[in-house]
Amino acid sequence: METRLRILLEDAGLPRPECGFELLDDCGRAIGWFDLAWPDFRVIAEYDGDQHRTSTRQYERDISRFDAAADADWRVIRVRGSGILVSPDTTVDRVRRALERAGWRSNRRKRR
């Protein structure tokens, strides 16, 4: 699903993310690995499969990672399966807005 998310975002005209991105804090210590990242904009897109919901251990690790990323001034967009399969436009809009707030500008013209 991480690959499907990447393809969805790239096909929508968003910049190509780094895949399997290791985020480090200001001291060079690992915060964690993330599915997709745009380091120039400090934006992360993370696919949350069912193991992220059903495993208490995984869920607690995720909370720590996401909190640490936010503390480091990164925006984390979490995406579930429905965000790829049922409402992909909403997912694209969420990531696009985060990138635009961080300074990215799309080449596409806005519709009137």
Identify the pLDDT of residue 52.
59
Candidates 19, 22, 25, 12; CA nearest to 45 is: 19
**112 confidence band (pLDDT: 50, 70, 90):** very low
> CA 2, CA 83: separation in Å to the nearest integer?
12
- Mean pLDDT, the chain, as a whole number? 92
> CA 2, CA 89: separation in Å to the nearest integer?
16
Residue type, 43: V
When pLDDT is averaged across residues 97-110 and rounded to a whole number, the result is 85
Q: Is residue 111's pLDDT more than 50?
A: no
Identify the pLDDT of residue 49.
79
Q: Global pTM? A: 0.88
10 Å Cβ neighbour count for 21? Answer: 16
Q: pLDDT of 41-95, one tens digit each?
A: 999 999 987 665 677 888 899 999 999 999 999 999 999 999 999 999 999 999 9
User: Domains in the chain, please, with CATH?
Assistant: 2-97 (3.40.960.10)
Which pairing describes strands 18-24 and 30-38: parallel, antiparallel, or unpaired? antiparallel
Q: What is the enclosing helix (H) or strand (E) of 9? A: helix 2-11
